[in-house]
Amino acid sequence: MTDETNPEDFVNKRGGDYSHIKGWGIDADPKNDPTYPMKKRTDEEIKGYTWERPPQQPVNIEVLKSVERPNITAVFGTAMPPKGLSGAIRRFAFKYSESSYARWMQLVLADRIGVVEGYIDDFSKGYIPNVFVERGWIAEWKYNRKNFILKAALTATVATAGILLLTKGKKKD
């Protein structure tokens, strides 16, 4: 298909008959005009923190807080408190506003460092991650064997070349 197609080729073939589509128009609302914003609050509620706040979840871990809000939310997640070098970078990043590049770029950097820390953490616990499984390559083997073999061969070639280069270098010493 090319862009040279004529508009006539796309005349609506339904001709206004939607009887085969179950529920056609069931939620049509002529007043659904998104250019008019809804207002479902009282003027009292736009004055800031005037709502009755839920009780505060005890803050017994480190929670990084956006500078754009005055408090820690009543409830927060406790998945992975900041730690290590990545944590230090995250703490620093949170000194910047949410609209600042500096904040997000530092967080991206911290994420990458976190990956390395993750490996160190695994090894320190005597756990050697099975990267093959973790990258989901079993599925590649199941559903895309050709590509799997191709990639495996390529990896093996690169690895062999690398080992050859390394051993060659060692002999020179």
User: Where in 110-149 is the site for other proteins (CB under 8 A)?
Assistant: 110-112, 114-115, 117-118, 122, 129-131, 133-140, 142-144
Of 151 and 162, nearer to other proteins (C-beta) is 151
Of 56 and 160, nearer to other proteins (C-beta) is 56
- What token pair was written down for 165? 């280069």
10 Å CB burial of residue 140 (0-12, 13-18, 19+) is middle
Contact flags string 2-21 toward other proteins, x per CB under 8 A: xx-xxx--x-x-x-x-x-xx
Find, among 121, 78, 69, 100, the residue nearest to 92 by Cα. Answer: 100
Of 133 and 166, nearer to other proteins (C-beta) is 133
**Backbone φ, ψ for residue 58 (5° rounding):** -55, 130
Whether the Cβ atoms of residue 98 and residue 77 lie closer than 8 Å to each other: no
Based on the shown chain and the rule CB under 8 A, indicate whether residue 152 belongs to the binding site for other proteins. no
Contact flags string 58-97 toward other proteins, x per CB under 8 A: x----xxxx-xx-xxxxxxxxxx-----x---x---x---
Rounded CA-CA distance 173/168 in Å is 9
